[in-house]
Structure 1
Amino acid sequence: MNLRTTILIMSGFGVISDSILIAFYPQFFETRYGVTSPVHVGAYIAAISIAVMCMLPVWARVARRIETMHLLLYTQGAAALFCLASIWAPSVESYWLLSLMMFMTKASYLLMFPYLMRLEEPQNHSLVIGLLSVVIHIGAIFGAAVGGMALEHHGPSFCIALMAAGDLAQMALCLYLIRTGRVVKVLSREEQSGLAPVPRRSPQALSALLKLCLLMFLFDFSAYLVRPFFTLYWEARTGLHEPLLTGLVFAIPGIVALLALLFKHLVAQPPRWADHTLFNLLLGALGLALQASDSLELIIVGRCLYGWALYQVIVKLEVTLFKVSTPDAYARDFGVTNFFQNLGVLLSSFGAGFLVNLVGIPLTFVIAAAGLLLTAIIDRGWFGVDRRHAAPGELCHAN
């Protein structure tokens, strides 16, 4: 296996491991510790997001001194140990402590993304980000399916063991890359010794990065606003209480993302609208609005439009990061944008419960659509994602 393929596989293991329990924490805490409070579950999921948000910039700083793959060898091993230790956690407090330590060390695997981008030619960035997006979609679906079956048939401890197995698989692949000499070193001697100066951002560069962070925050907040309640909404709206069908409809955006990637490969010169940011934000807003309909068919059409837009905009925004950044600062800038993306998802999770109680799920879809329209307006008037792809990328760092 070459380096790119191995990193994609490692990313898949990481996503699957993260997804095994993410949809089943209410059942997990009730079965294992007798905790039934929805507030507790929400607080725990929020704590996971905060742990990852805060630790990724720290690991990015460490990666300026230690080669990424060598760092991941140790951090993923530590994550596996914390995960295995949590199997025997006697109380909910000790489980919180051990599992959050696991997520804090595990957050370092996200550094594979900027590391891979640093090695790829700029013209390949869109392709690689598209592949990673599909891996994340499919891994999340597969992990949730495996987690549901494992929890039902083998119990909570087995689910935790599966999560640890994912971390150990990443550790083994890191060791494989190091032992076979496939790791490409990107740090200079000065960087490894800590003597190299940290690249400083110019005011214009900082402005560009913060504007991109705002767009990512608004997009993620709006795009994921109704996700926690979609399965309940679908069954209530259609009267179809079939878990397999519900799961399939929930997975439509991931399936469409895979089709979008195939479309990009099969069509030599895709039409300009296919990845045009403004068009796809408007398409995503339409898709969200259609899901507020009473019609089963319109809900499915809305899921398809939403899935296409979600994939295209995510890829475009991620590629834009690497256009306004420089290779030696990819990891640091990725940590910054990832913080704002996770903040958007975190606030959407809290906001979703409040909005659903206040106005109901259908109107929450409309509010999410309005959020995408606001993102489009801000991009059009203040940042211009597509303009940055049409012209040479603005350097984000001063030498």
Structure 2
Amino acid sequence: MGSSHPIARIALYICVFLFVFTEVLFSPFYPQFFQKVFGVSDLQFTGNYLFLCRLSVVAASPVWGWLSKKVDRKRLLLIGQAGTGLSCGMMALAVTETQFAVWSLILLLFKSSYLLLYPLLLESAMDQKKVTANYHALAQCAAAGAALASSWLIQLKDPLSVFWWIGGLDLLQALICMAVLSKTKTESRIHKTPIPASASAARKSRDLYFLMKLGITVFTLHFAVTLIRPLFTVYTEAEYGSSYVESSFLFLLPSFMTLAALPVMKKLKSENLRNVYMISGAMVLISILLQGGSSTFVLFTAGRCLFGFFLAICLASLDMSLFQKGKEAGHQYGWMCSFQNLGLLLAPVSVPAFTENGASSVPFWAAGVVLAVHLPAAFVALRRNSSLTKAKAA
């Protein structure tokens, strides 16, 4: 799928938005959802549900990446979209919380195939940094929109019926991709040049080493930034007396700051990725410490703005570092998603170990410590890729 197919790229962008939007929908209000729909008031059930959901994504992501080596990505994406749509329909028919949870896990096994959207987008454009910037901005906007929509949808008489609409959107995505991507099937063939066995083994060893270093970088970054999320609104309400609306705005502010960082992300250069990442990562660290140590609402808000702006640049730099490796990176992206989801999985579980009081600023300081460890790891991980880029340029 070459750059001469803007319609295909637009279709994939639509799928990215809908994927993130439907995935985040209801996530801020799952305790209220289970209480209203199934009469489950035990918060432990919600915690276990979210833990198992994230764990299923950790397990499924590398599987889809591995399958993309064997089967055409577009075909896998269609299978995942169709399976997701049907699973949503079964969730809408659930009569108990257990049935809902089981079908949620099945849905996520299929929905993990959506990670193939990103490599397909990168393959469809000549300017990968533009695609990377657009992808992150679009994903953050979709997440913010879903969070806002959730506050309205949870008030419906039957919130479970929303999953019929979600399933319909997934099936619609499958139809759009089937119509658009099928026209570019012959252009997406990869012509491989035979590689000697010794050279292939050496390359695989280097790739695995690089993948592990980058994986640790991805894990520590997402673990750190996720530590401050579970009790964020509780903290802002207790510390600053903010209303629900103000707390929601502060929670979503980093997502909106991604749009402000969009022009910077589009100007990233391969040879400067490590320097840009280290500077941005240091600013993320400073912004988190600023949030934890601020004494005024204005200073806290400024910290949130800095946090969102530089975190977006960090994420874009990491993606570019991986996808500089060419088409092979598309297969490895599944592993990166697993490291990311592992951080998202373990961070909420770790929060009680840092604080027993929801109003405490300790999660911010803990996140700062993790980031202080993260930055040297990122420096080492990106060094090899920087050297590789300079060698190619020479």
Q: Shorter-chain TM-score: what band?
A: 0.7 to 0.9
CA offset at residue 19 of structure 1? 1.0
CA offset at residue 381 of structure 1? 4.9
The number of aligned residues is 379
Residue number in structure 2 paired with 1:369: 368
What are the residue-to-residue correspondences of 1:62-77 with 2, within 5 Å? 62-77=67-82
What are the residue-to-residue correspondences of 1:157-196 with 2, within 5 Å? 157-178=160-181, 181-183=183-185, 185-187=187-189
CA offset at residue 84 of structure 1? 0.8
Cα RMSD after superposing both structures: 2.8
Q: 1:168 to 1:285 in 2, by over 3 A?
A: same
Q: 1:388 to 1:216 in 2, by over 3 A?
A: farther
1:46 counterpart = 2:51: yes
Q: Over residues 195-218 of structure 1, what are the superposed CA-to-partner deviations in whole Å (9 max), with x where a residue is unaligned?
A: xxx998432222111111111111
Q: 1:162 to 1:291 in 2, by over 3 A?
A: farther
What are the residue-to-residue correspondences of 1:1-399 with 2, within 5 Å? 2-121=7-126, 124-178=127-181, 181-183=183-185, 185-187=187-189, 201-241=203-243, 243-263=244-264, 276-292=276-292, 293-323=294-324, 326-357=325-356, 361-381=360-380, 383-384=382-383, 387-388=386-387, 391-392=390-391
Equivalent residue of 1:384, what SS? helix
CA contact (8 A) 2:17 2:142 kept: yes
Letter in 2 for 1:92: E
Q: Over residues 140-171 of structure 1, what are the superposed CA-to-partner deviations in whole Å (9 max), with x where a residue is unaligned?
A: 11112112211213432133223223312321
Q: Over residues 64-88 of structure 1, what are the superposed CA-to-partner deviations in whole Å (9 max), with x where a residue is unaligned?
A: 3332222222321121111111112
CA contact (8 A) 1:87 1:161 kept: yes
Distance 2:258 2:51 in 1: 27
Q: 1:344 to 1:19 in 2, by over 3 A?
A: same
Residue number in structure 2 paired with 1:193: none
Distance 1:360 1:384 in 2: 39
Equivalent residue of 2:227, what SS? coil
Distance 1:379 1:355 in 2: 24
Q: Over residues 8-54 of structure 1, what are the superposed CA-to-partner deviations in whole Å (9 max), with x where a residue is unaligned?
A: 11100000010111111111111122222222111111111111121
Distance 1:165 1:244 in 2: 31
Unpaired runs of 5+ residues, structure 2, are 1-5, 193-199
Could you tell me the TM-score, scaled by structure 2's length?
A: 0.88
Letter in 2 for 1:253: P
CA contact (8 A) 1:320 1:385 kept: no
Percent of aligned positions that are identical: 23
Letter in 2 for 1:133: H
CA offset at residue 100 of structure 1? 1.1
Q: 1:186 to 1:247 in 2, by over 3 A?
A: same
CA contact (8 A) 1:63 1:71 kept: yes
CA contact (8 A) 1:277 1:385 kept: no
Could you tell me the TM-score, scaled by structure 1's length?
A: 0.86
Q: 1:200 to 1:20 in 2, by over 3 A?
A: farther
Distance 1:114 1:268 in 2: 18
Q: 1:59 to 1:393 in 2, by over 3 A?
A: farther
CA contact (8 A) 1:118 1:330 kept: no
Q: Over residues 194-251 of structure 1, what are the superposed CA-to-partner deviations in whole Å (9 max), with x where a residue is unaligned?
A: xxxx99843222211111111111111011111122122112111122x332222211
Distance 1:387 1:273 in 2: 7
Q: 1:385 to 1:304 in 2, by over 3 A?
A: farther
Distance 1:264 1:29 in 2: 39
Distance 2:38 2:384 in 1: 48
CA offset at residue 378 of structure 1? 2.3
Distance 2:178 2:202 in 1: 33
Equivalent residue of 2:154, what SS? helix
CA contact (8 A) 1:320 1:388 kept: no
Equivalent residue of 1:120, what SS? coil
Distance 1:313 1:263 in 2: 11
CA contact (8 A) 2:214 2:381 kept: no
Equivalent residue of 1:152, what SS? coil
CA contact (8 A) 1:20 1:146 kept: yes
Letter in 2 for 1:278: M
Letter in 1 for 2:261: A
Unpaired runs of 5+ residues, structure 1, are 191-197, 395-399
Residue number in structure 1 paired with 2:3: none
